[in-house]
Structure 1
């Protein structure tokens, strides 16, 4: 979930760069940069002369830079598109070896939804469980009622619901990401 924030930031920066380039092109076409600038030929400029003069080394360097940007772009795209598979079973035995007890993740998410959904001020709960069977991770997206006190709801969840969930699993260090939102309002990510 933290990756989503960095992806949004990267996309926003790219959009701002492309927006600025578009505005510069529009201003150049309107002769804001001087009379006759919009009537000049595309290759009649100092960068084109530089490339023409130093083309022997410029184009191979540009090709390598383009290949690196392509690989980085494809890697970034694969992280954005790939979804970490959800965990189907959780090992809740104390040491993870002898006398293994396995819990179905569907049963856990149903119990978590019921536990968190019973808290006053909660409108909707969405759960996601992933990680390994011995080291699961839980993400809770809680939508609060419009008149709910979000700080009090967070304290109630952290003081009552989350410790019960961790105790039931026998995992006091279970990582839980809590995302609290109001319906129709912007989220306040906690955790």
Structure 2
């Protein structure tokens, strides 16, 4: 989704730069010598007093919608990185997270675990990144996490409906030739 938005933005930026270059005459005299509006439309815009204010208002409405959208996206991005939790809850999460890390690292095939508590106060979310050996039984590791460490973490936090996202990262060893 964000890649599509970035590509669209780059295309629009390129179109704007090209239009600016044509308008400044950098590509020689051509379309820049002609008026933007058809002469009949230009006469209509000149005779009506409301045409240009409506065009400006529509442009401002589009700009405001874009600004609101960008603000919401950046706010959601900040919430993903830093949860909106109070101090005591953070301390409790840190303590319970230490136990969760210790219990998760002893599961078979698990090399390392990283935790990040994200989301909002109303909808917190725990993101676990689990580094596993390439031939680790991921189904068993997931079941072991769900039945043991994450259940105890939810109980310690008092959040029975806490969403836990588990991301597995496999560590591949180089093949050795005999």
TM-score band, normalised by the shorter chain?
A: 0.5 to 0.7
More helix by share: 2
**In structure 1, the residue corresponding to 2:148 is in which secondary structure?**
helix
Name the counterpart of 1:182: 169
CA shift, 1:119, in A, is 0.5
Q: Kindly indicate whether residue 68 of structure 2 is the aligned counterpart of residue 80 of structure 1.
A: no
Q: Kindly indicate whether residue 69 of structure 2 is the aligned counterpart of residue 69 of structure 1.
A: no
Larger radius of gyration: 2
CA shift, 1:175, in A, is 1.4
Q: Tell me how large the CA RMSD over aligned residues is.
A: 4.2
Alpha-carbon distance in 2 for matches of 1:136, 1:20: 37
Change (3 A) 1:182 1:137: closer
Encode CA deviations 1:111-135: one digit per residue, 9 max, x unaligned.
1100111111112112234676xx9
Alpha-carbon distance in 2 for matches of 1:26, 1:15: 16
Change (3 A) 1:89 1:69: same
- Contact 1:140-1:176 within 8 A present in 2 as well: no
Name the counterpart of 2:110: 122
Change (3 A) 1:122 1:51: farther
**In structure 1, the residue corresponding to 2:116 is in which secondary structure?**
strand
Name the counterpart of 2:4: 13
For these two proteins, the number of residue pairs brought into alignment is 154
Structure 1 portions without partners, runs of 5+: 1-8, 29-35, 91-102, 186-191
Structure 2 portions without partners, runs of 5+: 20-26, 46-50, 173-178
